[in-house]
Structure 1
Amino acid sequence: MKKLLLLVFTLVCFGCNDKSKSTSNTSKAESGSGDSQYSISFDNLAHHEANINITFSGLPSGHAEIRMPRSSPGRYAIHEFAKNVYNVKFTDAEGNALEAERPDPYSWAVKNHDGTVNVSYTLYANRADGTYSQIDETHAHLNMPATFMYAPSLANNDFKITFNLPEGLNWKVATQLKPLEDNTFMAEDLQYFMDSPTEISDHMVREFDVDGQTIKFALHHNGTAEEFDQYISDTEKIVLQQKVIFEELPKFDYGVYTFLGCYMPNVSGDGMEHRNSTILTSTRSLANGGQKRNLGTVSHEFFHCWNVERIRPASLEPFDFTKANMSGELWFAEGFTSYYDDLTMTRAGITSQEDYIKSLTGTFNYVWNFPGRQFFNPIEMSYQAPFVDAATAVDDINRNNTFISYYSYGSMLGLALDLSLREKGLNLDDYMKLVWETYGKPFKPYTVSDLHETLNTYAGKDFGDAFFNSYIYKSEMPDFQRLFKTVGVAMETDENKPAFGMRLRNNQIVSNTAIGSSAYDAGLEKGDKILKIDDVTISETSDVNTILNNGYKPQDTLKIIFERFGKTKETTLVLKSDPSYQIIPMTELSEDMTKNRASWLGKK
């Protein structure tokens, strides 16, 4: 899934494999010749509705269980897609109405069927991203779990779907599903079907060949063909640089990998990987900054076709559509992918080496300075995914003090491991290739201990044990000062710069103050309105940083007048040094530094 900046959290996506298990224990042989046949039409585009008809045949006798998914591949939080389904009706093979009970909000128990259950319902869909669906006059953007019911007893049988396209809109279907005829497609089982998002629109298509396989890009946007041509050229550079790491592309089903891009003003920005495709959504057009900025998501999601889709955590195999899915490996699955997305853009020449090095500053300071590491190690941070991955709650949370995104945390660990290996004459690329050959290529889902053992095999037991025992099973931080120096990168901090330790908007604290900060120690908290700092009155337009930089220094004591729950209060705040660093490229490099940086960031 898309790497979001710092405090925006997202998650990995499930990709079906022909060796994967099903959520059902029923084999094809046991369930007979039954299958699931879907039809979707779009007669009410203006109001974001689709009409869906499904025939479940060959059902076992007794009550038939029909479910709407509660979670989506690549998201760990519960989303309850049944909330957007209505006008639900059930009939048998002869068209007779069937009675259905509701044992819970997301399933139906259909009684007295004759082995066939026909289902019809209306879907409301108006969010285009990597999880939800959107239907309007511009497109039908379909994520399958947000769109379609399923029968668990038929999970291992064939799924067929026909898309009935509206007339006059020149819409086409882009999907990783296997094409049959006209606009009918199929999947071999539930896992593959639910893992196959589909973009139906008047989109442009470009493609290129790599070692006999086709990389296709279907782009729905308001831009020009020339803009898309440049974009696909940069996409190809990214694909080829990532291929070098593993020395091969995965073997894609049907020999095709498809980018499903939708860069339109009505979508929500996201990226979500799947086995042979990925969703890419952004409101940035190629002409308005997207030509380069959107490529970061392209790079991240394509790297997932190895790391996550085939180099697969055992904790996610198979994906369970009935509950939140939890994994302790996201620091590797998402975090190491986040490390490689910008790195391969740099190696491809899309990002300059200087810009890449400077860009490390934000993520480094977030991981280094936020207090969450005192509560959870990277594995435990990964366990938080069901609570942060687009999950919603009405009660207040203290996440900015207790959580560090596994994207960012894992990215910095990937950087540290890469630079540490390079000190030994090794590199992270070759470690990733060994993980691919051991677990990804044969599709043998891995555990954290498997990653540990593979590092021991690659770099030696002492090195592997030291890295995992210090930075994975515990939450210590590597010696970045030393590691950066080996590639001609400096860390700089200004110990004379004071830090207040809180975020203000209109002179009100807008997030929980960070544990250990000046504001936290002074007893200030979210919701407090700052009225005066010493003798300076604070207004809605005041810039606290400007005030602090006007003669204040660390260890100075400030009198703070603030308002809480309608009452005026006073506290004393002792300024601390700003703990943040600047990561900058050195200009004078030794011969070894020059060689090491070129090996790290240069084109492969």
Structure 2
Amino acid sequence: MQKFQFSFLLILFSIFVNAQVSSNYVISFKNAVHHEANIEVTFTDLKSSSVTFMMARSSPGRYAIHEFAKNVYNVKVTDSKGNLLKTTRPNPYSWEVTGHDGTIEVSYTLFANHGDGTYAQIDETHAHLNMPATFMYVPELSENEIEVTFNIPENLDWKIATQLKHLEANTYYAKNFQYFMDSPTEIADFRTRDFQVDGQTVKLVIHDEAASDDEINRYFENIKATVLQQKAVYGELPSYDYGEYTFLACYMPNASGDGMEHRNSTYVVSTRSLANGGIEQNIGTVSHEFFHCWNVERIRPKSLEPFNFTEANMSGELWFAEGFTSYYDDLTLCRAGVITQEDYITGLIGTFNYVWNSPGRDFFNPIEMSYQAPFVDAAKSVDETNRENTFISYYSYGSMLGLALDLSLREKGLNLDDYMKLVWETYGKTQTFYTIENLNETLNTYAGKEFGNHFFNNYIYKSEMPDYKRLFKMVGVDLTTNSEQVDLGVNIRYGKLLGNPKKNSSVYNAGLQKGDKILKVDSKELTESMNINDLLNSYKANDEVEVVFERFGETKTTKVTLLEATSYNISVLETPLKPLDKKQKTKRDNWLGKK
């Protein structure tokens, strides 16, 4: 018995030792008007003789490198007795100290003035904090608990909103480093709305000084309808860690448009107030980010787990994680009655043309497009790229594949909702991280091996185009091509080619390039007030024209064979005199109607 009691006490002691608060932050905003925060952090229970502390280089939901250390300065380090410790810099984002006594106390100044879903912004209106952009950390303490205290200026009516667990006053808690870094925080004079869904709270925190209470109420009704329609896809909400999900809506003129998902919350950010079109224009981001609380946050690619804060995070599953989520964002708004069925259908045109007219499919399939994320996801480069010809956004590509899979399943009397629900039950609820092969296997289980393998072999592992004309006709939608006009294959403004010409297009084949300025087409001079498309209306496909253009100050002449425009149009089939047949109407209502 004594041996058992000793073992039990040893286990309790072990749990206490390994699960204590070892990172304790205090952040203050005395110089907020100049976008500065003062941060003090005490790191305890340090076992290594040489301790590394650092700023993150990436952020949850982003896949590229973001060097947050560039906005940190005035770094000072002491031991627990206040003795100053010398730091060395092994790399641009880390500091090292030796000679500590098991504790180091670090203080530093953070400059922050980019309020979006990744960075931080501090000014007299708010403290908009994404944790990787704000707080240093010690890698060896990543499994230990964390506390943070937000010191709010006494002269401001700021409040705190975050998915972190509230302890007391302005102090909050995270169970470990991964959860802490995934917990954005908005500190401002915000307003709130909330409602209950199956015993959990869905909350809107909105920092929008121009919006009226009535506008917020109207907006929140749209959010509620969206939440319930997305719940209907999966049959249930996730179990939120503290029984609450929070939309952190920052709609301020000093913010930057963005949306970023997190486990129990999301940042939805825009410069548009609800009073200035935001009720209609901001809801799409809300819909997209909430769908992520299943797809990405819990239905999680194995390639993103655990998230690596020291380097770019590459995943071949983004066509599904981001793309299928993009398919559902507007679909949900249609089902919720926020937009009409006709608006939803015609709203597909832009993305459809972008994806299926892109030369990028000659180079990369959806998996390989997903691999490009570290180069394009808010990543910056100073050298020219050829993205016009090599890249299709995995958001757009995946959304069109989601559309094709949904309609293909509906041909069989099935639907994408139930497939997503099966993925949720198999991988999301069980917290089993999935691979592309797992998605393929699950589709085989749901719709049959022949169907599942055909979809993946042709449209995921390859980059072929599904038969949309047949699929659309099933739900009373018409897909047509417009081949009566000619197309140069590049955006032109005031005669100047603004991007790289599209591969195999009219100007590409003629050898024109980005930066060239077209002066004449045949004998017709192109003036700055003239739209070149109006000038081209008198020509037909395969007509050859003489083009005079300027490159590097030199006037040149070339022949251009005009090619037909390959644009698609998507429209509803029915008219007042010719309604849909019963089967088409039923299929469309099952697809786009309220669940």
What is the TM-score of this pair, normalised by structure 1? Answer: 0.95
Distance in 1 separating the partners of 2:268 and 2:133: 17
Alignment partner of 1:166 is 2:166: no
Question: Do the aligned partners of 2:162 and 2:186 also contact (CA within 8 Å) in 1?
Answer: yes
The corresponding residue for 2:585 is 594
Question: Do the aligned partners of 1:507 and 1:541 also contact (CA within 8 Å) in 2?
Answer: no
How many angstroms does 1:31 deviate by? Answer: 5.3
**Equivalent AA in structure 2 for residue 146 of structure 1:** A
How many equivalent pairs are there?
Answer: 577
Give CA-to-partner distance per residue, 1:264-312, whole Å, 9 cap, x none. 1000000000000000100111121110110000100000000000000
Distance in 2 separating the partners of 1:541 and 1:163: 55
Give CA-to-partner distance per residue, 1:464-492, whole Å, 9 cap, x none. 00000000000001000110000000012
Question: Do the aligned partners of 1:31 and 1:154 also contact (CA within 8 Å) in 2?
Answer: no
1:85 counterpart (64, 69, 72): 72
Distance in 1 separating the partners of 2:20 and 2:588: 59
**Residues 186-197 of structure 1 correspond to what in structure 2 (within 5 A)?**
186-197=173-184
2:165 counterpart (165, 178, 185): 178
Distance in 2 separating the partners of 1:447 and 1:345: 29
The corresponding residue for 2:11 is none
Distance in 2 separating the partners of 1:423 and 1:151: 54
**Equivalent AA in structure 2 for residue 485 of structure 1:** K
Moved more, 126-135 or 561-570: 561-570
Distance in 1 separating the partners of 2:36 and 2:155: 18
Question: Do the aligned partners of 2:58 and 2:66 also contact (CA within 8 Å) in 1?
Answer: yes
Distance in 1 separating the partners of 2:19 and 2:248: 35
2:31 counterpart (44, 54, 74): 44
How many angstroms does 1:505 deviate by? Answer: 2.1
1:142 counterpart (93, 109, 129): 129
How many angstroms does 1:507 deviate by? Answer: 1.6
The corresponding residue for 1:451 is 439
Query: What RMSD, in angstroms, separates the aligned Cα atoms of the two structures?
Result: 1.1
How many angstroms does 1:33 deviate by? Answer: 4.1
Question: Do the aligned partners of 1:329 and 1:379 also contact (CA within 8 Å) in 2?
Answer: yes
Give CA-to-partner distance per residue, 1:569-601, whole Å, 9 cap, x none. 111111111101111111131211111000000
Find the residue that maps to 1:417 and give its secondary structure.
helix
Structure 2 residue runs of 5 or longer lacking an equivalent are 1-13
How many angstroms does 1:182 deviate by? Answer: 0.3
Find the residue that maps to 1:470 and give its secondary structure.
helix
**Equivalent AA in structure 2 for residue 411 of structure 1:** S
How many angstroms does 1:501 deviate by? Answer: 1.2
How many angstroms does 1:341 deviate by? Answer: 0.4
Find the residue that maps to 1:254 and give its secondary structure.
coil
Q: Which has the higher contact order (CA 8 A, sep 6+)?
A: 1
Question: Do the aligned partners of 1:28 and 1:156 also contact (CA within 8 Å) in 2?
Answer: no
Alignment partner of 1:115 is 2:102: yes
How many angstroms does 1:32 deviate by? Answer: 7.0
The corresponding residue for 1:473 is 461
| CA pair 61-31 structure 1, distance change in 2 beyond 3 A | farther
| CA pair 201-32 structure 1, distance change in 2 beyond 3 A | closer
The corresponding residue for 1:385 is 373
| CA pair 31-109 structure 1, distance change in 2 beyond 3 A | farther
Distance in 1 separating the partners of 2:401 and 2:315: 18
Question: Do the aligned partners of 2:364 and 2:463 also contact (CA within 8 Å) in 1?
Answer: yes
The corresponding residue for 1:130 is 117
| CA pair 100-523 structure 1, distance change in 2 beyond 3 A | same
Give CA-to-partner distance per residue, 1:344-380, whole Å, 9 cap, x none. 1000000000000000000000000010000000000
Question: Do the aligned partners of 2:19 and 2:143 also contact (CA within 8 Å) in 1?
Answer: no
What is the TM-score of this pair, normalised by structure 2? Answer: 0.96
**Equivalent AA in structure 2 for residue 574 of structure 1:** T
Alignment partner of 1:294 is 2:282: yes
The corresponding residue for 2:248 is 260
**Residues 483-522 of structure 1 correspond to what in structure 2 (within 5 A)?**
483-522=471-510
**Equivalent AA in structure 1 for residue 570 of structure 2:** I
Identity %: 64
Q: Looking at CA atoms only, which structure, 1 or 2, has the larger radius of gyration?
A: 2
The corresponding residue for 1:12 is none
The corresponding residue for 1:325 is 313
Structure 1 residue runs of 5 or longer lacking an equivalent are 1-26
Question: Do the aligned partners of 2:516 and 2:550 also contact (CA within 8 Å) in 1?
Answer: yes
Find the residue that maps to 1:74 and give its secondary structure.
coil
2:298 counterpart (284, 289, 310): 310
The corresponding residue for 2:5 is none
